[in-house]
């Protein structure tokens, strides 16, 4: 059996697929949500979940939480006398979920689909896979949280073809994804997010308001235990807004009981900066997907923090419609991950759905740029496959030597959005030898081919000799063998063919060139302009832009030619 797991910043869930559809598996305490908290006692006994969360209030130096935010980093968490990496703590949470599922189902659980924020980079995804393996699970697939939620909604709400925007505000991360559902295809159009924005930040606003109101409290002199107690009360105060327009918290600070009442209006005003911060990923996804707010048919809310009423109003105001919360926002991701597991097993109870995805981060290489004549500056980033390109995809960039008699080129394989190479993630390197020649006369074609299985093939071709060198980089959650990867790269080799060489495009270009030669004057200038538009679209290698440009060029040619195109 393949289970689906939502490994969350604040809470985690596990689900499985049944004849009636996906279902959440309760933990040993009978609850659906398992707090993502780990604690250890003096005898090195490990506690996970609600017990660990309670122990954190009493023994704060023996517990850790919110470690998902640091997945893929070198940070260490101190629990008494031992240190743990974020993926080791996550593994303990996954192990507890696995044991709860085995107890509930009465059978061994060995395989899982685990969700991650859409904006997790390769290092974070690799760390998530390692956590699953440490917990004794074969990680069948890493699935983006918004994609998992869209699967849950798209399959079981009988929606017609539509464009979704999935607004995912969890405990520690924020993601926005635009997905398009067409028949049995769910296509991810664009993703953006913030790995350091979530429900915990909204809790901190209440903490800060508490201290601002009670200026007599010297925060710097409070024990960590007292600070954790105040944080817990702030969290309960936030949850309290589910029942009305006011809430309160009561804290014991150095033996004094301090009450703090808060209205929803004041709380919303204090969160204005966080709300404003959420607009940036929304704008980016709309821009990258080349659509407008009015084109979105449905907005889906997932993540526990979306239960705040002013978050829902905020989203509704932007999209001028009420967001869909028909599936519990805490549970949608786990349910979708369970459905994905059933798809992997080819369960007959569900119809097969084809999933497409996008490249969440730009892939490129380091180059030098000419600042002035014969003066070069290194360390610049050259994008090759841009973020939110539908995958699989292949793009080529030609790079030239900059020194006379240069014999080597070092291609750094990078992932990120910064214009400076050093700020992006280094995935690998390829060094090639080139013949000696004057500067700028030798060149290499650098081709990136990226697959939905997180396989990146980088092929460097020396233009003058035709000699090739390639490297395969696979995502940490990919278990494909070298033979399977080679076969897959053969299957998508067609992507390396430039769109200009495809017959339907080549035919139109030839007709345009012929028409240019036959005409004179202003007609020739007009044809040249339209030819350039089509040519520019072909150079983007973006299928949507190419299709639109081809149709526009076809219509234009019809006004000049008698042939039926």
Buried b (16+ CB within 10 A) or exposed e, 144-155: bbbbbbbbbbbb
Identify the domain boundary among 467, 491, 515.
491
Please tell me whether residues 246 and 305 are part of one structural domain: no
Q: Given 88, 100, 140, 168, which residue is catalytic? A: 168
From residue 525, alpha-carbon distances to 104, 518, 528, 539 in Å are 73, 12, 5, 21
Please tell me whether residues 120 and 65 are part of one structural domain: yes
Give 83-122 as a DSSP string. EE-HHHHHHHHHHHHHHHHHHHHTS---EEEEEE-TT--H
List pLDDT tens digits, range 13-48: 999 998 888 999 999 999 999 999 999 999 989 999
Q: Is 99 a catalytic residue?
A: no
Q: Per the domain annotation, does 78 fall within a domain?
A: yes
Q: Per the domain annotation, does 563 fall within a domain?
A: no
Provide the whole-model pTM: 0.68
Q: Per the domain annotation, does 264 fall within a domain?
A: yes
pLDDT of 477: 42
Give 507-550 as a DSSP string. HHHHHHHHHHHH--HHHHHHHHHHHHHHHHHHHHT-HHHHHHHH
527 lies in which domain range? Answer: 500-558
Please tell me whether residues 431 and 296 are part of one structural domain: no
Q: Is 168 a catalytic residue?
A: yes
Q: How far is it, in rounded angstroms, from Cα 359 to Cα 213?
A: 46
Q: How far is it, in rounded angstroms, from Cα 267 to Cα 209?
A: 9
Please tell me whether residues 92 and 144 are part of one structural domain: yes
pLDDT of 39: 95
Please tell me whether residues 249 and 279 are part of one structural domain: no
Q: What is the CATH number of the domain that holds 80?
A: 3.30.420.40
Q: Is 6 a catalytic residue?
A: yes
Q: Per the domain annotation, does 565 fall within a domain?
A: no
Q: Which helix (H) or strand (E) holds 256?
A: strand 256-263
pLDDT of 274: 96
Please tell me whether residues 53 and 172 are part of one structural domain: yes
Please tell me whether residues 282 and 266 are part of one structural domain: no
Please tell me whether residues 254 and 371 are part of one structural domain: no
Q: Given 53, 68, 98, 298, which residue is catalytic? A: 68
Q: Which tokens hold the place of 479?
A: 């278990």
Q: Given 70, 87, 140, 145, which residue is catalytic? A: 145
pLDDT of 507: 84
Q: Is 273 a catalytic residue?
A: no
pLDDT of 381: 92
Domain total of the chain: 4
| Ranges of residues in the chain whose predicted pLDDT is under 70 | 155-160, 183-184, 346-356, 452-454, 474-501, 560-565
In Å, how far from its chain's centre is CA 115?
10
């Amino acid at each position: 059996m393949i289970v689906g797991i939502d490994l969350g910043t604040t809470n985690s869930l596990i689900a499985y697929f049944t004849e009636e559809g996906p279902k959440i598996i309760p933990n040993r305490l009978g609850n659906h949500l398992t707090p993502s908290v780990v604690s250890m006692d003096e005898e090195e006994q490990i506690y996970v979940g609600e017990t660990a969360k309670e122990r954190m209030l009493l023994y704060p130096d023996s517990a850790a939480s919110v470690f998902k935010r640091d997945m893929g980093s070198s940070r260490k968490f101190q629990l008494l006398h031992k240190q743990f990496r974020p993926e080791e703590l996550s593994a303990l949470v996954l192990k507890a979920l696995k044991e709860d599922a085995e107890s509930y189902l009465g059978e061994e659980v060995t395989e899982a689909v685990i969700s991650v924020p859409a904006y997790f980079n390769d290092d974070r995804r690799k760390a998530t896979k390692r956590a699953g393996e440490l917990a004794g699970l074969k990680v069948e697939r890493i699935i983006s949280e918004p994609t998992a939620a869209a699967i849950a909604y798209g399959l079981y709400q009988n929606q017609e073809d539509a464009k979704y925007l999935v607004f995912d505000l969890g405990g520690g991360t924020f993601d926005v994804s635009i997905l398009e559902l067409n028949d049995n295809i769910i296509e991810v159009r664009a993703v953006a997010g913030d790995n350091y924005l979530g429900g915990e930040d909204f809790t901190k606003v209440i903490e800060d308001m508490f201290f601002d109101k009670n200026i007599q409290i010297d925060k710097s002199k409070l024990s960590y235990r007292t600070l954790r107690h105040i944080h817990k009360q702030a969290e309960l105060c936030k949850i309290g807004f589910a029942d009305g327009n006011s809430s309160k918290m009561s804290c014991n600070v150095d033996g004094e009981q301090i009450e703090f009442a808060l209205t929803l209006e004041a709380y919303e005003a204090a969160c204005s900066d966080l709300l404003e911060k959420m607009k940036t990923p929304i704008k980016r996804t709309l821009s990258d997907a080349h659509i407008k707010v009015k084109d979105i048919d449905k907005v889906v809310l997932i993540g526990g923090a979306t239960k705040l009423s002013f978050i829902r109003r905020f989203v509704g105001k932007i999209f001028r419609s009420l967001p869909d919360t028909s599936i519990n926002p805490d549970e949608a991701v786990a349910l979708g991950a369970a459905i994905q597991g059933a798809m992997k097993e080819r369960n007959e109870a569900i119809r097969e759905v084809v999933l497409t995805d996008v490249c969440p981060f730009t892939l490129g290489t380091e180059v030098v740029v000419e600042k002035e004549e014969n003066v070069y500056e290194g360390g610049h980033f050259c994008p090759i496959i841009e973020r939110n390109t539908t995958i699989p995809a292949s793009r080529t960039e030609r790079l030239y030597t900059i020194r006379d008699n240069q014999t080597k080129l070092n291609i750094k394989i990078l992932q990120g959005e910064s214009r400076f190479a050093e700020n992006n993630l280094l995935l690998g390197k390829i060094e090639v030898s080139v013949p000696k020649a004057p500067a700028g006369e030798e060149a290499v074609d650098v081709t990136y081919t990226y697959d939905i299985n997180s396989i990146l093939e980088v092929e460097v071709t020396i233009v003058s000799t035709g000699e090739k060198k390639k490297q395969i980089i696979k995502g940490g959650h990919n278990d494909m063998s070298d033979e399977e990867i080679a076969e897959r790269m053969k299957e998508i080799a067609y992507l390396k063919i430039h769109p200009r060489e495809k017959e339907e495009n080549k035919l139109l270009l030839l007709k345009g060139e012929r028409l240019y030669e036959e005409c004179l004057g202003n007609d020739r200038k007009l044809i040249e302009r339209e030819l350039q538009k089509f040519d520019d679209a072909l150079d983007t290698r973006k299928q949507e832009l190419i299709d639109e440009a081809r149709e526009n060029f076809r219509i234009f040619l019809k006004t000049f030619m008698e042939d039926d195109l």
